[in-house]
Chain A
């Protein structure tokens, strides 16, 4: 058993080492991903481009606008003289929202009971539009409360306290999640082509007629990738801690166990695709669709699962990355223990065993063809 397993593993290692370009990408890519995701991506919508049409032109209206932009949500990019150019500016995207202050705004504020402002919003990007609308509503409510503070009671206020990530750094959330996406992608992409390449080049028959058993072939082929994947994840975690100051509060052993289980799932999927696909192109396309997309979109990595339609939420229960994300974020940010992590961990172990067994079986069937 041993020498044959080692032989296959050595051969696979040589394949990897002889292709330094791929190897560089395998290690450089995760670092760049961490850097870009940690640094460049933020969903906070700030500085929405605001056009201003102020019919009032009074000190009161100017003060209203100043207060509105002080929050940082809006930035006045254009002051319009009249309504004529509104549509043009909106279509060209010169501004995303237009604040119209009617001529009697200042006067109405003095006499009461109501002063109106109008906001025209470009709804193309639903998300930005919703933030613009909510921010203006909230700002008006706040102004109203302040305006009446001397004469009327303003009974309630909110005192927020933020746990686990008090500075609300998006890197703390996104970067640990990146480990899951990168590991899944690299494992599946690398392993999915290994078998397909042998088949395409005609060397699979040679392995099949050799005395190596299917189990040994599979084990020998995946062992190097387990090492690469784990090295990649250690690299990402270290990089994110050093560069972005992401905390690591929990149990390293728990994370290691979960990582091993998760890598097994990823490699299992890659191997399975590999044993089914006939050409490398098919293997790669299939592994992109089968692993990268769900890990990226249906795992809660960036896009909240609770906002998904019911069917996609149901599909997400079959995505290993979803469970791994719970564990890695839990360990790094919340210090969860083995008890809380038990169920997701169990799923990963089960999923990994099933796909591994399935691909070894698949390989055996090929042998008997």
Chain B
């Protein structure tokens, strides 16, 4: 034990003496928490719209007013000549263009019951297909809302006579995250992302660094046993990972005001079990890599797939079938799902034990395998 203690002390000294490294270990997560928490949201807001009102009537102005008051759209250009829409779209000022036809009022008031409705032309910049689809939904929603309102008032007015239109009214209740804040969903994911990245990257590079500089040989000829060296090297990385995690959870609570609905101890249990997987990956990489650059490339390369296929940024349900099946092999996926359920919904062990079992299995396979690889490489 004494020897392990020495190695642990040496590692901590090394981390502490490396000022820029210290700064990075603690600054990087804070920057990531700040940026990711806000930036990673696929919400489509403030979409620029160019409106060309050819009708210039009270009705058309009412419609334009509805667009102006939308929470999601920003009227960036208005005009009375259709060309303005093309230039606004090409220059990128707006991504939607709406044309209100010249005789809108007249055509609506003269149209017969059951006749084809008057169509408004909506031009979309389709480059960003997500924004385009969502924005089209907003525009359609505003116009349908207008029609729905007109029908509803007619229905209410005619309620007694039984002759009025019938309206289907949705009533919506949102559970768990009733203000629909994207950060509530993202920040627990960031905590997992940080834990994964820091623990696997630092452990991979820390070991390879000794290899590259040549101090690993010195350690190997010293009376320290291999497993002692390994334990002594790994514990500091686990500790650093836990500090990061605490930082992330504190940040989630204080800065983003995310209510911690579930049990923190349960989350810690998940994290500890998960560490066997990430440290195992770090060990595995450090057994394979010769230089720090290689170690970093390999880790980042692996993590890249972990992150993409974890549901952290991109919903797994939307992926093609093969990818969904492949993602079952990704340990990060289970921790992300469990963390979100614990943080947001307050889920307990009785509903999360499948995820826990899978993570235990991953750790039980990856860690011993990596240790054996590493030990055979050291010979």
Contacts and interface: CB of A to CB of B under 8 A. Distances in A.
B349 to A, nearest CB: 12
B40 interface: yes
B55 to A, nearest CB: 12
B80 interface: no
A115 interface: yes
A19 B298 CA distance: 13
A253 interface: no
A271 interface: no
Contacts of A25: 297-298, 301
Given A19-B293, A121-B173, A166-B126, A137 B39 contact: no
Contacts of B36: 297
A304 B165 contact: no
A137 B141 CA distance: 8
> Which of A40, A42, A289 has most chain B Cβ within 10 Å?
A40
B166 interface: yes
A343 B124 CA distance: 24
Interface string B158-200: 1100101111111111111111111011000000000000000
Nearest to B289: A21
A3 interface: no
Contacts of A150: 113-114
A230 interface: no
A303 B40 CA distance: 6
Contact of A29 (B91, B155, B301, B346): B301
B129 A165 contact: yes
B364 interface: no
Contacts of A308: 38-39
A159 interface: yes
Contacts of A46: 317-318
A172 interface: yes
> Which of B21, B143, B167 has most chain A Cβ within 10 Å?
B167
Interface string B261-298: 00000000000000000000000000001011110111
B128 interface: yes
Contacts of A163: 89, 123-126
A114 B166 contact: yes
A115 B166 contact: yes
B155 A114 contact: yes
Contacts of A147: 165-166, 168
Interface stretch (B2-10, B145-153, B224-232, B240-248): B145-153
A209 interface: no
A64 B125 CA distance: 33
Contacts of B209: 280-281
A366 to B, nearest CB: 16
Interface in A155-185: 155-170, 172-173
Interface stretch (A5-13, A105-113, A219-227, A236-244): A105-113
A19 B294 contact: yes
A333 interface: yes
A85 to B, nearest CB: 13
A165 B133 CA distance: 12
B333 interface: no
B130 interface: yes
Interface in B1-42: 18, 20-21, 24, 27-28, 31-32, 35-36, 38-42
29 contacts: A90-B176, A113-B156, A126-B41, A128-B315, A130-B43, A133-B172, A137-B145, A144-B151, A145-B144, A149-B114, A150-B113, A153-B111, A158-B119, A159-B120, A160-B136, A161-B121, A164-B126, A165-B126, A169-B129, A279-B20, A279-B21, A281-B205, A282-B18, A289-B24, A302-B42, A303-B40, A307-B41, A312-B38, A329-B127
Interface of B: 18, 20-21, 24, 27-28, 31-32, 35-36, 38-48, 74, 89-92, 108, 111-115, 117-133, 136-137, 139-141, 143-148, 150-152, 154-156, 158-159, 162, 164-182, 184-185, 205, 209, 212-213, 289, 291-294, 296-298, 300-301, 304-305, 308-309, 314-315, 317-320, 323, 337, 340-341, 344-347, 351
Given A117-B169, A122-B176, A128-B315, 4 more contacts: A21-B294, A45-B318, A164-B126, A284-B205
